[in-house]
């Protein structure tokens, strides 16, 4: 009985720490900013990993889902309910952002029924360009200049909380029949269908969940930077997400954390390089594909991230001859 409560207790402690830490003065504003960015990146990474890692697809357009979440949540807090109290409006904005993005995941999911591989990559790319171009042309969303004056609702506790929820949600999905179905699709879609896997439900579940959490990350992002415009969500943003997934490890929760961590830190370290900074990420992507395509922790995970029942039993010691 004691064991069951350990994980929730630790997580709650983490939440408390994240709330108290800023007040203690131990963590300056910059460090807070980095930690929040880390949490946002972790959510993005684990959401993309669901489609690119576990399902083995190639979605290039996830920045589009992030954009939808960012804009939907920002429009809520800036245009619809300005001045509403944060504790009320922020959770609503986050859920709205996630839901709008999740809804957009449906058509992409449907399109993935008949198309795979290259063509799905093309479709997700088109999706990204359409979202970006659409946002640039709608005056209500601020056009190419974007939205300003978004309230700074994102703080460490909120970022931490959403990150935990995202990882918990994806973990539960992965260790269920839907997750197994998704992995089966990656391995061999024809065999999966022949073994009774409803590949359509699985694909929809993957895309919608993935899009939802990308939207959540977008909402957090918007309320951290306080300013968003369509060019924040372009192919370079998608590339950032791809590096996180393929560096940390495909189909891995721990890998998602790792990848997000490395890329967040790297982005900060490389700041002084200016425009040249943007050469590093794509270069990393190329090197990863050439030398370590499944990433550091591909297809494996730390035990403490898996549900108790899934942790492998210790192998029995060989009997002495």
Partner 1 sequence: MTPLLEIRNLTREFGGLRAIADLGMMVHDSDLMGIIGPNGAGKTTFFNLLSGIYRPSSGEILFRGNRIDRLRPSEIARLGIARTFQNIRLFRELSVLENVRIAYDSHLKYSPMAALFHSTRLRQAEQGSTRAAQELLDLFELGSLAHERAGDLPYGSQRRLEIARALALRPSLLLLDEPAAGMNPFEAMKLLDFLRWVQKKFSLTIIIIEHHMQLVMGLCTRIEVLDFGVRIAGGSPTEIQNNPRVIEAYLGAEGEIP
Partner 2 sequence: MGSLNYFCQQAINALQLGSIYALIALGYSMVYGVLSMINFAHGDVFMLGAFFCLLLVALVPVPFWLALIIVMGSTALLGTLIERFAYRPLRKAPRVSAIITALGCGLVIQNVTLGFSPYARRMPSLLDITTYQFGGLSISTLQILIIGISLSLMVLLDYLIRRTPFGMAMRAISFDRATVPLLGVPANTVITITFAVGAALGGAAGLLYGLAYPVISPTMGIAVGWKAFVAAVIGGIGNMRGAVLGAFLLGGVEVITVTLLPSTYRDLVVYSLLLVILVFKPYGLLGKPPLQKV
Asked whether the beta carbons of 31 and 156 are under 8 A apart, the reply is no
Q: Between 118 and 318, name the residue whose CB sits nearer to partner 2.
A: 118
CB atoms within 10 A of CB 128: 24
Q: Which two tokens stand for residue 161?
A: 């909380």
129 binds partner 2 (CB under 8 A): yes
The site map against partner 1 for 187-216 (x = CB under 8 A) is xx-xxxxxxxxxx-x---x---x-------
133 binds partner 2 (CB under 8 A): yes
Residue 278 touches which member of partner 2, partner 1, none, C-beta under 5-8 Å by kind: partner 2
Q: Which residue has the tokens 């260790």?
A: 175
Q: Which of 289, 304, 310, 311 binds partner 2 (CB under 8 A)?
A: 289
- Residue (of 99, 120, 102) closest to 111 by Cα position: 120
Q: Between 227 and 299, name the residue whose CB sits nearer to partner 1.
A: 299
180 binds partner 1 (CB under 8 A): yes
CB atoms within 10 A of CB 84: 15
Asked whether the beta carbons of 266 and 240 are under 8 A apart, the reply is no
Residue 188 touches which member of partner 2, partner 1, none, C-beta under 5-8 Å by kind: partner 1
Q: Between 137 and 172, name the residue whose CB sits nearer to partner 1.
A: 172
Residue 35 touches which member of partner 2, partner 1, none, C-beta under 5-8 Å by kind: none
* Of 149-157, 235-243, 299-307, 311-319: span binding partner 2 (CB under 8 A): 235-243
Binders of partner 1: how many residues, by CB under 8 A? 33
Q: In this structure, which long-range contacts are made by residues 145-148, counting pairs with CB atoms below 8 Å and at least 24 apart in sequence?
A: 145/229, 146/227, 146/228, 146/229, 146/230, 146/232, 147/71, 147/74, 147/75, 147/78, 147/222, 147/227, 147/228, 147/229, 148/226, 148/227
Q: Between 22 and 56, name the residue whose CB sits nearer to partner 2.
A: 56
């Amino acid at each position: 009985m004691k064991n069951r409560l350990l994980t929730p207790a630790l997580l709650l402690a983490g939440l408390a720490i994240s709330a108290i830490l800023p007040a203690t003065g131990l963590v300056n504003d910059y460090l807070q900013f980095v930690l929040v960015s880390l949490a946002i990146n972790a959510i993005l990474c684990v959401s993309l990993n669901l489609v690119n890692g576990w399902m083995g697809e190639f979605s290039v357009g996830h920045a589009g889902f992030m954009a939808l979440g960012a804009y939907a949540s920002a429009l809520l807090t800036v245009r619809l309910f300005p001045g509403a109290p944060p504790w009320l409006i922020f959770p609503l904005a986050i859920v709205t952002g996630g839901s709008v993005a999740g809804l957009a995941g449906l058509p992409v999911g449907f399109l993935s029924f008949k198309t795979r591989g290259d063509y799905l990559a093309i479709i997700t790319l088109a999706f990204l360009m359409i979202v970006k171009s659409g946002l640039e042309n709608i005056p209500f969303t601020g056009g190419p200049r974007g939205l300003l004056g978004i309230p700074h609702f994102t703080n460490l506790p909120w970022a931490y909380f959403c990150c935990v929820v995202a990882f918990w949600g994806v973990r539960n999905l992965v260790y269920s029949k839907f997750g197994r179905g998704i992995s089966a699709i990656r391995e061999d879609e024809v065999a999966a269908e022949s073994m009774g896997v409803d590949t359509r439900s699985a694909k929809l579940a993957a895309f919608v969940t993935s899009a939802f959490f990308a939207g959540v990350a977008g909402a957090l992002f918007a309320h951290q930077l306080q300013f968003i415009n369509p060019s924040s969500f372009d192919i370079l943003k998608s590339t950032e997400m791809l590096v996180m997934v393929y560096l940390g490890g495909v189909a891995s929760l721990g890998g998602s954390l790792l990848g997000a961590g490395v890329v967040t830190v790297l982005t900060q370290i490389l700041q002084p390089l200016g425009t040249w900074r943007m050469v590093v990420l794509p270069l990393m992507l190329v090197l990863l594909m050439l030398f370590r395509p499944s990433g550091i922790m591909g297809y494996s995970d730390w035990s403490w991230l898996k549900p108790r029942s899934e942790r492998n039993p210790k192998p029995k010691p060989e009997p002495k001859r």
